[in-house]
Structure 1
């Protein structure tokens, strides 16, 4: 199969998944509280516990991607997500909610790392970052379309559209699984070249780089949770400011992600991207905090809009640096478990992000944004030294990275 056809199928499958994600994440909270009758607190506990349990499966799935092959595993994870969504149709207790949430969250988090591994196996080194960036562009566009469909479901508000939305979401995941199964087979790593299952988590230099850049993942919680709460509770900006932020951010990612990611192909540029990500996200936090002072609606909106620009620039640098560093530093024939580490660190921050952001804003007000600025900026300051150490340890040990072996 030609490379262009392979890339097209990978992007289309990811786009279909994004369509289901946009639909599901738009309706699930209202569905569980209004249609299934869960109290908000019980829903939060069930989904939170389920997500935590599901997170435990991400690293083992990464190892399995190396042992069984990433294509067949990604197909299985997509099917598992479809099964979990259908399971939400019948959830009627806290325990059933935890079970469905665990399967859904675990499969979603694991699929991220496995998908990157599949791209690495099916594309040439020089085109990997571009394909990953293109996949994110496709995902954001399709996610927005799914969100629009979810908005229509919320507008109607009756049970039937919600059940239909769940079935459509499951069908999207199954369609993505079917399309993924049609890309070339990726064989497992031969047993003679397999690494021990704990290879990636014992690679302390790699782990240090991923942990240092993981707090940048908070940008998603800031946009989805922190800014809407802040706009309503502490600023004179119009209520639609947070919606404006989501639209502008999505458009910026669609237009600029490929360009930013192309700039992170070299390790030195990926390191710079990490520092710029921390700087721009910290600047966004400072602007959000400042947005509480103007009493003029127009001025408050202008300050927050400037923060939104800084936020999406920081996010573009963040995504680029994570791909650039992880793909350059991971070991050959252990891509699955290394990307499992990447997915685990991001998913862990994403899981606690909304609680951290809302807790800081509720407890410290504008000071919460200042604390968040420190959380995203301080950890990336040692990234250059950490990456230099990682490169030195690989040279001393004769470490065969993916980049060096091709």
Structure 2
């Protein structure tokens, strides 16, 4: 696995270009959307939060059937259509001015985004050998962070201008970025649909689909617990710094830049040693201990002067990003290796709902633990992470045994 920040030429580089195309627009969207919906559309902030929660709730449920569609109809065509749908949903935000039109547009946006993520994973699985997937996902994560950083800078210019035209320009940029993403994805070779299983379908391939694969469901649930770290930089740490430490609030921005830059520079290297289920489980377990260390350090930042608090927060943030990169690499490998070869889109669609659940439930959990419980809350969060990371071992082994059974029955083959 190369240390280069640029993936090898061919499908891997094209997938990275597609990732870069829409992540720039997304970065601009993320930093401006809240003010756009409140200041330009004129919605109450509480209603914006409610609408987005409803939208992402629907989107998380849509990930599995849209992933299944990618398996059965072909992931490239499905991904292109969903990228176009996402772009059209963003464009519709330019004209909506009421709550329910906003909710409808947000539902389409969240649904298309969730389905696009699943279809892209199925496309990646069809184009990239199993041994190279985690490395490519590390490249894509680095590319994502680079694009988000550029987009956030452009969004910052719009925020500085503060005009309606500037906000509309950002949303138009995001819409165009998804159209560019669709065009880039068309440059990839088509992948033959593999989700049609001949003969009688049994077990996990019937009825509720992936939900009947209970070991995989357990693995996905444990990964969701580990993903509770995701709202830390955007919500948990800002509230902690403002409410519980003497550090200045500008440190929030510095820690975000630190996190983004570290992922861009080191995610590929961190993923280099993850080659199979055993190494993936070890990576997740190590990341759990590092996350516990980060939580303990963050808890200490409540003590001391502003200078001391800033130094402690920087150390905690370094540990946090190391834990994040290790956990990401391990979970990518696990999610692919435990999925049936012909149903990667469906399984990835389900595994990806953990991100939505973490982003939806995470704010409430983190607010309660960190702001409400203080330093003890940090230790509880760290302990929960260690417990989930250690439980991943037996859960993964159980899922691997089930995958081997599917292979023996001719329904699916474990990788």
- For normalisation by structure 1, the TM-score amounts to 0.94
Q: How many equivalent pairs are there? A: 401
Return the alpha-carbon distance in structure 2 between the equivalents of residues 49 and 370 of structure 1.
31
Q: State the Cα deviation string for residues 345-391 of structure 1 (Å, max 9, x = none).
A: 22222222123212333322333323322332222222211122222
**Which residue in the other structure is 1:375 paired with?**
384
- Which whole-Å deviations, capped at 9, do the CAs of 1:247-273 have from their partners, x for residues lacking one? 111111111111222211121110011
Q: Take 1:289 and 1:59, find their aligned partners in 2: how far apart are those partners?
A: 38
Tell me what 1:313 maps to: 322
Matched, 1:249 2:259: yes
Residue of structure 1 in register with 2:4 after alignment: none
- Under a length normalisation based on structure 2, what TM-score does the superposition of the two structures give? 0.92
Unaligned runs of 5+ in 1: none
Q: Aligned partners of 1:314, 1:350: CA distance in 2, in Å?
A: 18
SS at match of 2:407: coil
- Map Cα deviations across residues 171-217 of structure 1 (whole Å, 9 max, x no partner): 01111011101211112126344844633221111221121122111
Deviates more, 1:88-97 or 1:247-256: 88-97
Residue 106 of structure 1 pairs with residue 116 of structure 2:
no
Pair 1:323 & 2:328 matched: no
Please give the alpha-carbon distance, in whole angstroms, between the structure 2 residues aligned to 1:51 and 1:90. 21
| Cα distance in 2 for residues equivalent to 1:253 and 1:26 | 19
Q: Structure 1 stretch 281-290 or stretch 159-168: which is displaced more?
A: 281-290
Which residue in the other structure is 2:221 paired with?
211
Equivalences for residues 6-155 of structure 1 within 5 A = 6-155=11-160
- Asked whether the equivalents of residues 68 and 195 of structure 2 are also in contact (C-alpha less than 8 Å), the reply is no
Q: In the aligned structure 1, how far is the partner of 2:233 from the partner of 2:289?
A: 16
The aligned residue for residue 182 of structure 2 is 177
Q: Distance in 2 between matches of 1:326 and 1:192?
A: 21
Q: 1:169 to 1:334 in 2, by over 3 A?
A: same
1:276-295 equivalence runs, <5 A: 276-294=286-304
* Aligned residues: CA RMSD: 1.8
Whole-angstrom distance in 1 between the partners of 2:366 and 2:115:
24
Separation (CA, whole Å) in 2 of partners of 1:261 and 1:354:
28
The 3-state SS of whatever aligns with 2:274 is coil
How far apart in 2 are the matches of 1:327 and 1:402? 12
- How far 1:167 moved relative to its partner? 0.7
Counterpart contact for 1:271–1:383, Cα < 8 Å = yes
Q: Secondary structure at the match of 1:224?
A: coil
- The equivalent residue for 1:393 is 402
Q: Helix, strand or coil for the counterpart of 2:275?
A: coil
Any conservation in 2 of the 1:61–1:110 contact (CA below 8 Å)? yes
Question: Is the 1:282–1:377 Cα contact (8 Å) retained in structure 2?
Answer: yes
Partner of 2:245: 235
In structure 2, distance between residues paired with 1:363 and 1:326: 34
C-alpha separation in 1, matches of 2:24 and 2:356: 20
